[in-house]
Amino acid sequence: MAGSELNNSMGPLADYGITRTRGFIPATDPLQKLPPAFACIERVSSELPVHLKQGSLSEAIKRMDSPDLGLLNGTAEQERLFLALSVLANACVWGQRQPDFRIPETIAVPLTELASALQRKAVLTYASMTFFNWEKINPNGDVCAENTRLLCRFLGTRDETWFVTSALHLEVACAPLLATLYDAVVASSRADVDELEHQLACLANQMHVMTDAVLKVREQCDPTIFFNDIRPLFSGWPSPGAVYEGVSKSPRILAGASAAQSPLIQSFDAALGIRHSEKTAAFLDGMMPYMLAQHRRFIQEVRQASRIRSMVMRKGSAGLVSAYNTITDALNEFRRRHFQLVNEYITKPSGQAAITGTGGSSFSEFLRDAGAATRQASLPADH
C-alpha cells in the first residue's frame, strides 16, 4: 500500500535504492559504456575474452593510462568504472595458468579510490557483477535472463552470461516480495496487527516465486563448465591475499563475488527475526561490506524496526501464525534448493565433500546451518 512508506520508523524504499518493480536492482539501467575519457579501460575490459584466450592481458594493461577519477560524473559512471576495473583485477589474478596475486598500479589505485567513494570492498562483488553489468537485448522488453546480456565478461560464453543474468532474474522476480516484506515490517513497527496479517498473507502467497527462480541457472549454465571455467574467475583473494601495487605492500584478503553478498535473503532473515549460529551470523555480517551502502542500511534498519516475529508470537491469530510459518517454510525451501545447486555446481564437479565458495566459506556447512536456523524459526500453532 502506498501509505505504508510514510510516518514509520523506516524511510521510503527509495531511500535505500529499492523499487517495487526491480527490488535491489537500480531503477535506471546500467551505463552501457564509459565516457570517452576512459576509452582505453573500456576497450581492454570489453575485449577481455580475447585477451584471456591469447594471453595478451598483461601487455594491454601496461599500455593503459591511469584514469582520472575527477572526470567521472555521478554514481552511474562510478559504478561502471568500478565494474570494469574490478573485472580486470580478477582477470589479472586468475586469468593465467598460475595466479598472480599482484594487481597492477594502473588498476589497483583507482579501484581502491572508487571503493572508498562507493563504500564497498575493492574487489569484484555480487553487486557489481549482477546489478550493474547488464543491458537489455530488446530495449522494450523485461529485465529477465532471456532479455539481458553482459557488459563485462571474462569468457564471453553462454554459460557465463546465463550464470550472471539468472541471478539478475532472481532479484527482479523477487522485487514484489521484497516490497511486501517492507510493508509487513512497517505494519509491525506501527503495531498494526490487521495490516500485518494482511501483508504476511500476501507474502505467503508470493513465496513460490523465490523458490522457483533460484533454479533458473540450470536452464543454460552447465555445472562442469561453471566449476572449471567460470567459478575460478569470480574468486577473491585467499590467504595470504593480493597486493594492490601503488596502494600498499601489505596483501589484502578479500572474498570473491558470491550470492551470499546479495541483500535479498539477509533482508528476509532480518525482517522475520531468524537467528543464526554465531559462526553463520559472523559470515553473513562479513558479507555486508561488499553490498551497496544503501542496501546495508536497509538490512540494518529492517533488523531494528521489525516486530514481525514478536507480534506473531504475542498477538498472532491462527492466520498470522500460519502465514508466518508458510513464509519461513518457503525460505527454508529456497535454502534447500540453493544447497542442491551447490552440490550440482560445486561439490560434485570438485569431487570433494567440502569445498569453499567464491565468498571464502564452506558452502555446505554454511547452508546447513542457515537452513537449520530457518526451520527453527517456525512457530507452533498453539504458541
Which residue reads 570489453 in cell numbers?
A: 46
The answer to whether 121 and 253 are in contact (CB under 8 A) is no
pLDDT value for 361: 53
Nine-digit cell at 219? 536452464
pLDDT value for 362: 63
Which domains does the chain show, CATH number per domain?
A: 27-169+230-254 (no CATH), 173-218+259-376 (1.20.58.480)
Across the chain, where does the E strand assignment appear? 102-103, 134-136, 148-150, 237-244, 252-254
Backbone angles phi, psi at 100, to 5 degrees: -120, 105
CA-based torsion, 136, 359, 231, 159: positive or negative? negative
Low-confidence stretches of the chain (pLDDT beneath 50): 1-7
The answer to whether 150 and 164 are in contact (CB under 8 A) is yes
- Of 260, 290, 256, the closest CA to residue 276 belongs to 260
The single-letter code of the amino acid at 5 is E
pLDDT value for 352: 76
pLDDT value for 6: 41
User: What is the pTM (predicted TM-score) of this model?
Assistant: 0.94
pLDDT value for 356: 60
Residues 311-364 have pLDDT tens digits of: 999 977 899 999 999 999 999 999 999 999 999 999 899 887 656 655 555 666
DSSP β-bridge partners for residue 103: 244
Residues 72-119 have pLDDT tens digits of: 999 999 999 999 999 999 999 999 889 999 999 999 999 999 999 999
pLDDT value for 34: 96
